[in-house]
Amino acid sequence: MDGQPARDTPAAVDAMAVAVRAKVSSCPAPFLPRVAGRRKRALGDLFGLRNFGVNLTRLGPGDASSLHHRHSRQDEFVYVVEGEPTLVTDAGETPLRPGMCAGFPAGGTAHHLENRTARDVLYLEVGDRGAGDEVEYPRDDLALVPDPATGRRRYARKDGSLW
């Protein structure tokens, strides 16, 4: 669907009325439980955007946004709409409230969000889709690296063996 709005997409939508994406993550099965709770509404894809993605993501109590990670070439940004997630970076932890935002330039600190409260968290996340990106997971035996033959990214262990 990239580059083409879904047929019959209206000019604008209520973000919460967009269907939750069926696939939770493409990460290897051992890591899946840690991100299984998150629910993403792919707002950018809905309108046919190709250069960046925008998701409205919900974290229930105990859920995490992602594994602790850092992109090599892609930037990321989050804006909290509801609830009080904890931002975890290599510099420490920061409690967030609605209306707060954080940006993660390529190659900067690794990061993720955790919902340690009893209420849902809702946030907007933006990430570009620039070519040649790799993902480092400093706390896990995991990396997302391009296949030299195809350029498609694959999950590998830190010794280079594929998951």
**Joined tokens for residue 53:** 């993605």
* DSSP bridge partners of 92: 89
Count of residues near a second copy by CB under 8 A: 45
**Joined tokens for residue 51:** 């250069």
Among 35, 49, 140, 155, binds a second copy (CB under 8 A): 49
Q: Residue 162 has what DSSP assignment? A: B
Among 57, 65, 66, 74, binds a second copy (CB under 8 A): 74
Restricting to residues 131-160, name those near a second copy by CB under 8 A: none
Strands 39-42 and 86-89: unpaired
Among 19, 91, 118, 149, binds a second copy (CB under 8 A): 91
CA 92 to the chain's CA centroid: 19
Among 28, 37, 60, 108, binds a second copy (CB under 8 A): 108
Give the span between the Cα atoms of 36 and 50, in whole angstroms.
25
Q: Which is nearer to a second copy, 77 or 163 (CB)?
A: 77
Give the span between the Cα atoms of 122 and 84, in whole angstroms.
9
Report the interface residues with a second copy, using CB under 8 A. Answer: 3-5, 10-16, 43-44, 46-52, 54, 74-75, 77, 79, 87, 89, 91-92, 94, 96-97, 99-106, 108-109, 124, 126, 128, 130
